[in-house]
Amino acid sequence: MHKNERQSLIKQIISQNTIRTQEELLQRLQKKDITIAQATISRDIRDLKIIKTIDEKGKPKFVLYDTSSLQKQGETEKLISIFNDIVTKIEHVQFLTIVHTLPDNASLLASMIDEIHLPEVKCSLAGFDTVVLIVSDETRAIEMENYFNSIWQKQTREQIGN
């Protein structure tokens, strides 16, 4: 099966079913006689901009990130939009700015940050739920932390009615 066909099927599975883990998604694909490696499914999830959110029961689930509104926005607005959907905490440690996300969303945020080429950011590293941004010094790390907090806090204030 070609990549486009596989990714189309993944979108269909996630749209029609509650999928909570990559393993669950792999099992659904295997039921359709599609066997792929875990690394491939991770790349597909990143390519398709699939994020993990928390459902009404407080459990994580995969959803297709709504990119239709993002296509009309500029790069900064795209970052703000995705930032507000998945970020849980921001901090800095020396010359590092650390952004915590909902589980399994760090690589999506890091790729978005990489795409807009923030001049302060020398490198981004993404784990499961943490993005580490390497900047030139602690002053820049604090500036990045403040910038991201201003984006995040604006949305947070709106959500709680302040």
Instruction: Say if pTM beats, i.e. exceeds, 0.85.
Output: no
**Distance in angstroms (rounded) separating the CA atoms of residues 158 and 114:** 27
What is the rounded CA–CA span in Å between residue 111 and residue 65? 14
Q: Report the alpha-carbon distance of residue 132 to residue 51 in Å, rounded.
A: 18
Question: Cβ(50)–Cβ(9) under 8 Å?
Answer: no
CATH code of the domain made up of 72-160 = 3.30.1360.40
Q: Which residues contact 94 (CB under 8 A, 6 or more apart)?
A: 138, 141
CATH of domain 3-64: 1.10.10.10
Shortest CA distance to 152 belongs to which of 81, 63, 94?
81
- What is the per-residue pLDDT across 119-155, written as a single tens digit (0 to 9) for each? 888 999 999 999 999 999 999 899 889 888 887 765 5
Residue 161's pLDDT is 46
Q: How confident is the prediction for the chain on average, in pLDDT?
A: 83
**72-160: same fold as 3-64?**
no
Q: Taking the domains of the chain in order of start, what are their residue ranges?
A: 3-64, 72-160
